[in-house]
Chains A and B, each alone.
Chain A
Amino acid sequence: MLFNSLIFPIFLILSFGIYWFLVNRNLRLQNAFLLVASYIFYGWWDWRFLGLIFFSSVVDYVVGLRLSQTEKQNSRKILLIISLITNLGILGFFKYFNFFIDSFADVIRMLGMNPNIPALHIILPVGISFYTFQTLSYTIDIYRKKIEPTKDVVAFFAFVSFFPQLVAGPIERASALLPQFLVKRKFEIDKARDGLRQMLWGYLKKIVIADNLASHIDVIFTNYQTLDGITLYIGVFFFALQIYCDFSGYSDIAIGTARLFGFSLMRNFAYPYFSRDIAEFWRRWHISLSSWFRDYVYIPLGGSYVGRWRRTFNIIVTFTVSGLWHGANWTFVIWGLVNGLYYIPIMLRDKQKRFSKTIAENSFFPSLSDFFSLILTFHLALLAWVFFRASSLTHAFNYIGHMFQVPYQGLDYSPYYQNILFSVLLLVAEWFQRKKQHGLQIEELPVFLRWGIYYGIILVILLFGNFGSQQFIYFQF
Chain B
Amino acid sequence: MKTFIARSVLFWVGFAIVGELFFRFVVPGTEVPITEQNKDYGFLHYDTSEIVSGYFTTGRLPHERYYWEINNEGFLSHHDYKTPDQREKPVIAYFGSSFIEGFYSNIDEQIAYFVEECIGDQYEVYNFAFSNSVPSEHLAVSRFARDKYEPDIFIFFSAPWHLKLSTKKVPFRKRFSINDGEVVEGTVGDFVYSRLKRTVKYSAMLRYLYLNARFRLNILNNPNEKKEAEENAAFINPGTINQSDIELREKIGDYLVRTLREENPDATIIMAGGTPYSDNYPEKLELENRILKDACERYNCDFLNVSQVFKKEYELHGTSFYVEGDPHWNTQAYRVIGHAICAFVDSLNTTNDDAMEVNAEE
Contacts and interface: CB of A to CB of B under 8 A. Distances in A.
Given A6-B218, A463-B61, A467-B215, A189 B4 contact: yes
A6 B218 CA distance: 7
A187 B1 contact: yes
Nearest to A454: B11
B135 interface: no
Contacts of B219: 6-7, 10
B1 A455 contact: no
A464 B217 CA distance: 19
Contacts of A454: 11
B200 interface: no
B41 interface: no
10 residue pairs, one from A and one from B, having the closest CB atoms? A6-B217, A189-B4, A187-B1, A455-B18, A7-B219, A455-B15, A192-B4, A463-B60, A189-B3, A459-B22
What bracket does the count of chain A residues touching chain B fall in? 10 to 19
A301 interface: no
B340 interface: no
A462 B1 contact: no
B1 A6 contact: no
A455 B218 contact: no
A463 B218 CA distance: 20
Nearest to B60: A463
A7 B60 CA distance: 22
B27 interface: yes
A20 interface: yes
B209 interface: yes
A451 interface: yes
Contacts of A20: 1
A6 B11 contact: no
Nearest to A469: B218
B14 interface: yes
B273 interface: no
Contacts of A187: 1, 4
Contact of B19 (A5, A6, A10, A459): A459
A458 interface: yes
A470 B84 CA distance: 57
B213 interface: yes
A202 B345 CA distance: 60
Given A10-B219, A462-B209, A467-B214, 5 more contacts: A454-B11, A462-B19, A462-B213, A464-B60, A467-B213
Interface of A: 5-7, 10, 20, 187, 189, 192-193, 451, 454-455, 458-459, 462-464, 467
Contacts, number: 40
B60 A6 contact: no
Contacts of A192: 4
29 contacts: A5-B218, A6-B215, A6-B217, A6-B219, A7-B218, A7-B219, A10-B219, A20-B1, A187-B1, A189-B1, A189-B3, A189-B4, A192-B4, A193-B4, A451-B11, A455-B14, A455-B18, A458-B15, A458-B19, A459-B18, A459-B19, A459-B22, A462-B19, A462-B208, A462-B209, A463-B27, A463-B60, A463-B61, A467-B214
Interface in B213-246: 213-219
Best-surrounded residue of A5, A10, A192, A463 (most CB of chain B within 10 A): A463
A462 B209 CA distance: 8
Contacts of B4: 187, 189, 192-193
A378 to B, nearest CB: 31
Contacts of A463: 27, 60-61
A358 B14 CA distance: 37
Contacts of A462: 19, 208-209, 213
A192 B11 CA distance: 15
Nearest to A452: B18
A462 B4 CA distance: 24
A20 B4 CA distance: 12
Contacts of A6: 215-219
A192 B216 CA distance: 28
Contacts of A458: 15, 19
A187 B216 CA distance: 33
A303 to B, nearest CB: 45
Nearest to B15: A455
Nearest to A13: B8
A241 to B, nearest CB: 21
A459 B19 CA distance: 8
A15 to B, nearest CB: 15
Interface string B34-66: 000000000000000000000000001100000
Contacts of A193: 4
A7 B221 CA distance: 11
A57 to B, nearest CB: 27
A463 B62 CA distance: 9
B6 to A, nearest CB: 11
A5 B213 CA distance: 14
A5 B216 CA distance: 10
Nearest to B22: A459
A451 B218 CA distance: 29
A458 B22 CA distance: 12
Nearest to B61: A463
A193 B15 CA distance: 17
A82 B214 CA distance: 51
Contacts of B18: 455, 459
Contacts of B1: 20, 187, 189
A14 B61 CA distance: 32
